[in-house]
Structure 1
Amino acid sequence: MSKDLQQPKQLEEVDLGQLFNMVGNLFQRLFDFILSIFNNIYKLILVLLIHVYKRIKWYAISGIIGLILGFFIDSSTDEVYGANAYIETNFGSAHQVYENLKYLHQLAYVDKDSIELARKLNISVKDAASIKGIYMRPDIDENDRIRMFVAFKKGLDSLSREEYSYDDYIESLDYYSFKRHQVGVASTDKFIFQKLNKSFSKAISNNDYLNELKNVELRNFITQKETIEIEKKEIDSLASEYLKIRKNESKKQAVVGSGTNLYMGNSDQNKLIVDESELLSKKTKLEALKREINVGLVKNENIVNVVSEFPDAGYDMTDWRDKMKVRLPILFFLITFFGFILYGMGKYLSEQDQKINKK
């Protein structure tokens, strides 16, 4: 009986030993594979270094030639300066603004029509000729997108709110969904940007329909403001009359059931129609509404509000990696390298061809 019990245990130990050996062999193969990769990379780097070292003079000559040509090209090329302005679009004018900016960019970058560009921006032809491009993109971060998504979901029903995800909402947004935008201008004139502040917003928002919509909105604000002023005068007049009544009543001898009271039509007869606290609260609300209207008048005074104007001077837009004195030496080095590779490959193929012909 004991022999029967020992036999399964021995078989189990043999199976576990084989399993451990298989796992060990697997890890060993994996380590050998990774090691072979690093060895091959090391050999490749070593071969490349030996190749460059043997032909260092050629590579040095090609790098020096590229550096000299790069300095010459950079010195003869005008520096490009850039600056940004930030705007807010009103009355759904983002479509019109983008279309106008695309047209201005076409004039500056593609057509190079400085005369028409100068007319549009109300600047001199010389200044317009220095403009190399006009660009625009929404000025918004992830927090703004989240706030917009939360506000959007509040307007949905319960079923749509569950089905509509944040990613779906972000994919449905386009440039015209935002109010604030960044406008960039590239120019060879470092000090042109201040000249653009005077007429730039009008140039990118000129539209008869939008102008009429703006005028109607401003008239509505003015009408609301006038109505508030009339209500305030009526409240002041009512409060003055109430004080007179209170003074007159205070001079009379108090008699139960007598006196002068003003009642609301549907109110409790024991409550005066006029209450000083209610009048003060109503007047305070009107003042708050008036302040909101004043802010609305400022925000809607223009089709495009310039939140931040162009600075007095632009900044250098070129990155050091864009300099020709950096690019050309690298380019010449690569041309020399591939030239040697092609030469070596041709020599090797020629040798193989001779061996085949001998056979």
Structure 2
Amino acid sequence: MSKELPQPQQSEEVDLGQLFKLIGNAFDRLFKVIGGVFTKIFGLFIGVLSHFFKRKIWYASVVIIGFAVGFFMDSTSDKTYGANMFIETNFNSARQVYENIQEFHQLAKKDKDFVELSKRLNITEEEAKTLKGFYIQPDADENFIVEKYSGFYKKLDSISRLEMDYERFKQSLSSYDFRIHKIGVATTNKKIYKSIEEAFVKEISRNTYLEEIVEVNLENLNKKDDALLVQIQKTDSLVKEYLSIRINESEKEDLTGSGTNLYMGNAESGSLIMDESVIIEKRLDLEAQRRMINKDKVEQKNVINVIANFPTNGYDISKWSDKKKFLIPIILFVLTFSVFMIVGLGQYLENKGKN
């Protein structure tokens, strides 16, 4: 006995038809809205083109006039030049350097105290008037940050390591945490950099406390170097004595248990003369320490180290937006467009009022 499948009711067919009709109407309205938007945008675009085409002589005239005026102003005004110096700070002196740079910038850019600038930099007042600003920023080397984070991470406990990730550590760094910094000077005299360099370096690192730290540090390095030299001399004497004993022992008759015993350090009492390689390694280690001290003397003899000096001549640092031949035509073009818009709006409102 076969079962008959249930047939859909007529009311269900009507509901489905109405549903599809509603969906179709919704899509139709959506496409009409989208089409209307594109039509409005196209109409606005045509209107703008029509506006410029009808008044092309006006706009072309103001652009040409603005370019000519701007070109004349650029040719008669002083150019701004810039150059950079790279320094390495010692003994946590970055804060002092930043403060001194900020002071120089205040004198040149805001106060325009050229008398004080000429005195501090050992130049004439006319040369000081060409200085337009002093700037400094850290030379943020990614390798330095990674190395610094690695050392910092090792000192943390297990809980702190979960909280302090690399990105958070990187954001927590300030300009003072970096050792290498870039100093920029803006001026209208591109040949002034070598004239101010020596006095400028002294001024930005000027601090009595830091200068005393440098003196004490060099004194300690010299004392350590002298102590190492004494140790080397004693080691050389010991080597000579060792060789003398070695020669005497070789000349004696080879008898078991006879000879002079020389014990050094942790050498076993059962052995006769200590292996000379130990003395040689000790001397090489002392010499390596002296070489490190010589390097430290060079790197730490000043509050700051100049890694890269100012170049002989500065270079043009002006941007296109600083060029009057570009800026003035844009300004005149915008002003002309604004005037036409205001006039057109006034006419439109007047016509509306009459109607």
1:127 and 2:141 aligned: no
Secondary structure of 2:134's partner? Answer: strand
Q: Which residue of 2 aligns with 1:138?
A: 138
Q: How far apart are 1:72 and its partner, in Å? A: 2.5
Q: Which residue of 1 aligns with 2:353?
A: 353
Q: Which residue of 2 aligns with 1:344?
A: 344
Q: How far apart are 1:349 and its partner, in Å? A: 1.3
**CA 1:249–1:74 in 2, change beyond 3 Å: closer, same or farther?**
same
TM-score by length of 2: 0.90
Amino acid at match of 1:149: Y
5+ residue gaps, structure 2? none
Amino acid at match of 1:185: V
Q: How far apart are 1:20 and its partner, in Å? A: 9.8
**CA 1:145–1:321 in 2, change beyond 3 Å: closer, same or farther?**
same
Matches within 5 A, 1:1-359: 5=5, 37-264=37-264, 267-272=267-272, 274-355=274-355
**Aligned partners of 1:264 and 1:272 also within 8 Å:** no
Q: How far apart are 1:45 and its partner, in Å? A: 2.1
Deviations 1:261-315 (A, max 9, x none): 1224764211346431111111111111111111111111110110000000000
Q: How far apart are 1:198 and its partner, in Å? A: 1.9
**Aligned partners of 2:260 and 2:272 also within 8 Å:** no
**Aligned partners of 2:80 and 2:188 also within 8 Å:** yes
Runs of 4+ residues over 4 Å off in structure 1 = 1-8, 13-39, 264-267
Q: How far apart are 1:106 and its partner, in Å? A: 0.7
% identity of equivalent residues: 47
5+ residue gaps, structure 1? none
**Aligned partners of 1:201 and 1:305 also within 8 Å:** no
Secondary structure of 1:199's partner? Answer: helix
The CA distance in 1 between the partners of 2:136 and 2:61, in whole Å, is 44
The CA distance in 1 between the partners of 2:2 and 2:326, in whole Å, is 84
Q: How far apart are 1:115 and its partner, in Å? A: 1.3
Amino acid at match of 2:288: A
The CA distance in 2 between the partners of 1:235 and 1:26, in whole Å, is 99
Deviations 1:88-141 (A, max 9, x none): 010100000000011011111111111111111122222211111010000113
**Aligned partners of 2:267 and 2:274 also within 8 Å:** no
**CA 1:332–1:286 in 2, change beyond 3 Å: closer, same or farther?**
same
The CA distance in 1 between the partners of 2:104 and 2:87, in whole Å, is 17
Moved more, 140-149 or 129-138: 140-149
**Aligned partners of 1:263 and 1:273 also within 8 Å:** yes
Aligned length, in residue pairs:
354
Q: Tell me how large the CA RMSD over aligned residues is.
A: 2.9
The CA distance in 1 between the partners of 2:209 and 2:110, in whole Å, is 29
TM-score by length of 1: 0.89
Moved more, 288-297 or 152-161: 152-161
**Aligned partners of 1:108 and 1:131 also within 8 Å:** yes
The CA distance in 2 between the partners of 1:5 and 1:105, in whole Å, is 92
Q: How far apart are 1:44 and its partner, in Å? A: 2.2
Q: How far apart are 1:6 and its partner, in Å? A: 6.7
**Aligned partners of 2:225 and 2:290 also within 8 Å:** yes
Secondary structure of 1:140's partner? Answer: coil
**Aligned partners of 1:138 and 1:182 also within 8 Å:** yes
The CA distance in 2 between the partners of 1:20 and 1:285, in whole Å, is 92
Deviations 1:302-329 (A, max 9, x none): 1011000000000011122321110111
Amino acid at match of 1:177: D
Q: How far apart are 1:35 and its partner, in Å? A: 5.7
Secondary structure of 1:132's partner? Answer: strand
Q: How far apart are 1:4 and its partner, in Å? A: 5.3
The CA distance in 2 between the partners of 1:173 and 1:292, in whole Å, is 29
Q: How far apart are 1:350 and its partner, in Å? A: 1.7
